[in-house]
Amino acid sequence: MIIYPAIDIRGGKCVRLKQGKYDELTVFSDNPLGVALKFQDAGAKYLHIVDLDAARGESSNRELIIEIARSLRIPVQTGGGIRSLDDIEYVLTSGIQRVIIGTSAVRNPDMVSEAVKLFGPRIAVGIDAKDGKVAIEGWEKVIDWNAVDFAKKMKELGVKIIIYTDIATDGMLLGPNIKAMEEMVRETNMDVIASGGVSRLEDLTGLKKVGVSGAIVGKALYTGDIDISAIASFS
């Protein structure tokens, strides 16, 4: 299981949200590149970077994220505001290893299908769920589509990797939704990267037992609940 330290960027700063709420934001650093280098030096094997501004259709931190990726020795996956094949191609040819398609996967599945044909496993779909239902537009709109059913639809299009976020647990440090992650793995047989709620090493052990291929760790690394050095030792 790969551990993905998370860097969420808003206004060029490294921040964390609580349950995806933009009005409950904490700034942890004015230097996202410095944070990324710190994670790399601690032994991280892959980074997860989200453009929170672009996810809402506001401004974009894309060039900053590309700069970060080009400054690292380890691969980066990124999502937030990626809405066209041109976007995908630009990001993937600029130093990013994997693109995460979120809202656009709901609205334009044909684009996902074409992207997978062109870029294969470098395409992942981000499924953010609240009470089992898919949330889009920076988590601010919940639609009447079951998260597992949506994942199966993406699998039919050739997608192999899902980043599955349980919004209720995200940023709360109360533990991940193990049951939901287990269901997603069992029902889809896809590579599921779990996101939301990881607050201690035991949470990572629990996720590994249910078969997820990766786990994203965010707030716990910034608060010190999980020591950065534990990233390398665990994975």
Q: Which of 128, 166, 170, 191 is catalytic?
A: 128
Q: Give the residue from 131, 148, 159, 156 showing the smallest Cα distance to 187.
A: 148
Token pair 């690394």 is found at 221
Tokens coding 193: 């990267």
Among residues 60, 110, 127, the alpha carbon closest in space to that of 90 is found at 60
DSSP symbol at 213? S
CA dihedral 188, 122, 134, 26 (to 10 degrees): 130
Question: Which is it for strands 141-146 and 76-79: parallel, antiparallel or unpaired?
Answer: unpaired
Q: Which amino acid is present at 165?
A: T
Give the gyration radius of the chain's Cα atoms: 16
Separation of CA 123 from chain center: 12
Pairing of strands 123-130, 161-166: parallel
154, 96, 89: which is closest to 127 by C-alpha? Answer: 154
The tally of CA atoms less than 13 A away on the side-chain side of residue 173 is 12
Both tokens of 201, joined, read 């090493």
Respond yes or no: is residue 8 known to be catalytic: yes
Is residue 128 among the annotated active site residues?
Answer: yes
Residues belonging to the active site: 8, 128
